[in-house]
Amino acid sequence: MNNPEPEFLPVPGIRLGAAAAGIKYTDRNDLVVIELAEGTDCAAVFTRNAFCAAPVVVAREHLQAVAPRYLLINSGNANAGTGGDGLRAAREACRALAAARGCAINQILPFSTGVIGEALPVNRIAVAVPEALTALSDRGWPAAARAIMTTDTVPKLCSRQFEYQGQRVTVTGMAKGSGMIRPDMATMLAYVATDARVEPGLLQACLEQAVAPSFNSITVDGDTSTNDACVLLASGVSPCPPINDSGSALFKDLCSAVGEVCMELARAIVRDGEGATKLVEVRVDQAASLEEARRVAYTIAHSPLVKTALFASDPNWGRILAAVGRAGVEGLVVERVGIWLDDICIVRHGSRAADYTEAAGQSVMEQDTFTIRVALGRGDQSTRVLTCDLSHEYVRINAEYRT
């Protein structure tokens, strides 16, 4: 890989190691072990896809039973759509790591990403586990971020740090995801860690608060993965006091830092969307409800006609207007609708703005980052969704994914 080493801050109490198991790739690491300090608390959200992968089932079971000590992640094989054999394979992978570290099997949380419907080569994972353990380091984030990549072109890694009563608290996260992105919970795979000590219920609340405007508000292609998972780890190694009050300044500072990390990772996923050349924010204002705003935003963001116009830098505003009209907004008054590209008004009172010019619209759409804003004229609710364009390269990548 020729990509520059991403910047990050180590998280005390969290170590990561990567190894090459040869699951699908022959020239790179594809297995990651994350070691958690004793007493680390863990919060997680998982895919809502009914065909959830075997590791999702097993990770949920283990997380409900006992606090985890290790996370085991592989790329190149999703272990999804594999039935009972897949569940046994996920548990056997956990068994291999548990045996090497002398811990219980249910102290391991498994995660997989890659091709759906193929048997997980557990024997290769078992052979590579010792190498991953040898590589464990608090500076292992960049190698781990690369190892979990599939069609990603760059590793996705982000850190934030803040001070509380003279003590520093660190938050670092990594994610993978480039296609099959409309998560409906989090993202394909994301792992965020802090050295703060947080009461488990508050840790879960912090995670859910962070994923709502970030990983839960992005789309590349409208497809929800079978393997989506987002995990927030709190090692408790920081000398700061424990967080057990949702109203405390420390909890608010932590939520802010976790939210910023998740947002930056979410933006990185969309910017790295398969074949993407544009990062576009779709903002819907003046909706009667949040659900209505999200429905309109996603209708625009998922429209193949809108997305191909984005790729062509074609200000074909009729496609946007048509998407708004078919979003299912009951009683929509077209004459109240306005649409902007950044600060260029293209639709006013339901029709083309009198002062709009095609050249002005195209100048915005030729940028690699811009905003489509829609005002519905119905209320005071608003939302925004991050999306990207749909290019020739997206078709090529997904047509050749299994070859």
Q: Residue 307's closest CA among 388, 399, 234, 377? A: 388
Q: Which residue in this structure is represented by tokens 């488990």?
A: 200
Dist. CA 175–CA 189, nearest whole Å: 6
Rounded CA separation 143/201 (Å): 31
Contacts of 181 (CB under 8 A, 6+ apart): 187, 188, 218, 219, 220, 221, 223, 225, 269, 270, 273
Query: Where is 260: in which H helix or E strand?
Result: helix 249-271
Tokens 């949040």 -> residue: 290
CB–CB of 325/339 below 8 Å?
no
Contact 227, 113 (CB under 8 A): yes
User: 40, 151, 170, 187: which is the annotated catalytic residue?
Assistant: 187
How many Å apart are CA 179 and CA 399, to the nearest integer? Answer: 12
Q: Which H helix or E strand runs over 234?
A: strand 229-234
Catalytic residue list contains 369:
no
Catalytic residues: 187
